[in-house]
A and B are shown apart, each in its own frame.
Chain A
Amino acid sequence: MATKAKAKKHGQSAARVTGAATADKLYRTSKVYKSPKKITVANLPPMYSRADLEFIGVDHSGASYEARVYLNNPSADADTQAIEANGYAGSYYIFGHGGCFGDVGHCEIHQRDEFDPRPSHPLEPIKKVVIATDAIKKAAAQSADISVTVVPVIMSWTEKTDMTDVMKFDHINVVTYD
């Protein structure tokens, strides 16, 4: 059974919105990440066998990058060694779209309705999961609020890639399992 704690509520996340115009706007815009985020973990169960950091609504339209995740290390940056002593909890990786190589509007995401037989738009924001059991247990033992610092390290891109604000996502969940 899973238990969730949320980093920060941004209203409805993109995937859960069902309205029309507003939903469509939200759907195509992951939020630019501002580091670090605070997560309250006081309500997590005392015992769990696994804990994940779920990154929800991750944009993957641009560069390919590594997102290094540090707990309780708000000053972590690209030069910080990715080791446990620095609060390193793991990384997720984005295989980026590389920018838009279609005509105008090709990479605009519009929600499909339930009768639309086509797969959802390839650039629909995604979920990334970092299994970080030991790091979360260690950080949670330090304080009731843990800070999550995510450092993007760009790996590859194209001539069409927008290199500003490469890392965007909506929110972070902490999910624990019995």
Chain B
Amino acid sequence: MANPARYWREIPQRYRLEAARCTSCGEISYPPRLACRKCRSRKFESVVLADEGKILTYTITRVGPSQLADLTPYAVGVVELEGGVRIMAQIADCDFEELAIGQRVRLEFRKIQEDGQAGILCYGHKCVPV
């Protein structure tokens, strides 16, 4: 299921949180885009996202894809990183009862998916409570 080329293409974003800041209006696009969502300018400079932020909302997935069975139930949330960019990420190593909107988290490198026994391993970041 995980195609090597498609996975490899997103590595700068998934491993190093590389994003693009529009040089016209300052809006940060993660992942980088060809046209700014806010002002449609085409010029960007490379930036890296902050690795700390806060939870804006979260849920606990109890019925999920079978490839994530070993992790289920797991928490996922929308996290706003320092600097304003929002991402979707799992929240690992957390006590479900203690999850809260506004909770501070930091990003940690984790394995996100694996393609069965023989396919490629896919990495990225998850949040852990600070």
Q: Do A and B bind each other?
A: no
